[in-house]
């Protein structure tokens, strides 16, 4: 079902759909869970919002997607996705 939603959305995007698949998330633990974001939007939203959010910032973004936009992300995945995003697309540690 989730895949179907993603396909329908891709079709609606028209000419940009083939380009969209060229945006690839970094390989790291949790990436598969983060790919759920594709149901509603292209994955470039993630690198675009980097690197300035810490884990709390990314958690707030994920919760906004779930609570405000109705993203069907299981609660138990939130921590995994937040870790993945903050470690790979998060604010660099203070030097």
Partner 1 sequence: MGATGRFHSRRRMLSGAAALAALGALPRAMAAPVGGSGELGFGEIPDGTLAEQSLFALPGKVPLIKKTYRPPNFETPIEYFRTPITPNKAFFVRYHLAGIPQVKAKDWFLSVAGDAAAGLAPLSLDQLKREFKAHEVTAVCQCSGNRRGLFDPHVPGVEWGVGAMGNAVWRGARLKDLLARAGVRKEAVEIVFDGADHAPLDKTPDFVKSLPVDVAMSDDVLVAYEMNGQPLPHWNGFPVRLVVPGWTGTYWVKQLASVKAMSSPEKNFWMSTAYRLPRGRFKTPTFASQLYAPNEPITTMVVNSLITSLKAGQQVARGKPIEVKGVAWDSGAGIERVEVSTDLGASWQRATLGKDLGRYSFREFSAAPLAREPGGMVVMARATSRSGETQVDQLVHNPAGYHHNVIQRVYIEVA
* Residue numbers at the binding site for partner 1 (CB under 8 A): 5-6, 8-10, 12-17, 19-20, 23, 39-42, 44-45, 47-53, 57, 61, 68-72, 89
The whole-angstrom separation of Cα 45 and Cα 85 is 12
Residue 28 vs 52, nearer CB to partner 1: 52
Q: What is the DSSP letter of 25?
A: P
CB of 76 to partner 1, least distance (A): 19
Distance of CA 31 to the CA centre of its chain: 9
CB of 40 to partner 1, least distance (A): 5
């Amino acid at each position: 079902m989730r895949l179907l939603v993603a396909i329908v959305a891709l079709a609606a995007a028209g000419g940009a759909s083939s380009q969209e698949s060229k945006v690839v998330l970094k390989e790291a633990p949790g990436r598969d869970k983060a790919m759920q974001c594709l149901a509603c939007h292209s994955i470039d939203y993630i690198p675009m919002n980097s690197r300035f959010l810490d884990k709390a910032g990314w958690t707030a973004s994920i919760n906004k997607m779930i609570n405000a936009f109705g993203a069907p992300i299981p609660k138990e995945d939130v921590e995994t996705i937040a870790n993945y995003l903050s470690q790979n697309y998060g604010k660099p540690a203070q030097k």
